[in-house]
Structure 1
């Protein structure tokens, strides 16, 4: 295993990449904050996933439920109807698939349909059956820092020291998940940018990714098009650009995250980030 792979960590049962991996996003939803409705049709969603792979995505994250602030939850049958055909279609084309869900039933059926990884923004807290299902399947699991459903824009977003509190809360959650039967080498951690956090919290976490990495698990960074980037890019009147005009800023974060040792970055627009992580790897290799 190369120095780069050791530095970023390797997730059991997933391919090994000699650089920060790129996770492309396929939202099979009508109401995602950045691209809701564009890939709601199954055929369009599958095509979009394949296009992301062609543009440089190493794996594709398929989700059927928006997690934007204030979003209403969809029922289980609707989420299954949205997600499973897309997972099955992409798996048939050999794509490495992550399923973005908080429901154990969706995770279980997605894994059976060919998904390789479960990405749960609640870290297994939203559905008590999630951890046993993932453990039984022997699948890798993304544990995101989560303080509850975003009924408001910054619910429970108060911190004395955001970095130490997020790291401590992630550590406690990881320990509970290991006790629940998921092997340590199948766990990825995500600091949860934008979830119960203000812009200054997100920026502090990005500045201290080394402390998140010190938990001893590969780190996923999901900054794509998020509100804190809008704040950074706001005009003189404080108005942020629309979500889809934040892709250059997203690629900048991807390069910084890759340089800081992130295992993967989750993005909507793949090509620029695919270039960014490759440049970061080339610079790392020249040191």
Structure 2
């Protein structure tokens, strides 16, 4: 099966600690690397995770708080020093161009590649990127500034041909593509050989939803319904739910409630406040509502 893996580079909140780096992660989809957020120190974590800079495809920035984008200029500089020539695309909300472009022009003016910033509307649920392997759409979130999450849906592969059956019915090569896409085969004597007799189903397409930063919002449930893995911020424990509400964040219990209502397969908590020296309190609270919950942590690689 082709790769669909999530690497956690940072899962802390605004203040870096000895436990956690600011937000960043990388999704490997069929050997293309998609970065989600880029907090301070991201490129160091990228190296520690033994990821390849040359395979970095695109960057998706959820919002313009520093713990989600302060690492961009350092990463862009490093990519230039490593000889990147292909354009780097950054998908984000309005405003990044005004702040990042002067830094690029000053620190990275000799870079051999172009940085292209593509702006999306965080209030809309819409497709912002698509290729042969994946479709990426935005998830409107509720925060103190314009903010969106991202939903990655792998495209369903074609069915697998059964070589012995193809040979038995002497099926011409020109017919194979259509059969893989679902067509039946008509023999010379008029018999219909069903597609299901000639193929085996492809592996189910996988999906991943990233929701950070956000206050509790049930509006995202129809968008993330049934995803294989949901990363949902859990900045606070339930004892601090008023603080969560006031700052546009969620508690672990609220994240678990969203996961349960959306029928997701697995929940990963992240974006932890520095006030908790041990994140197990968050895990315990979430598992009371949705048991299949894990904690994000730097260096964690989750295979979907």
TM-score normalised by L of structure 1: 0.37
Higher helix share: 1
Higher RCO (CA < 8 A, seq sep 6+): 1
Higher strand share: 2
Give 1 or 2 for the bigger CA radius of gyration: 2
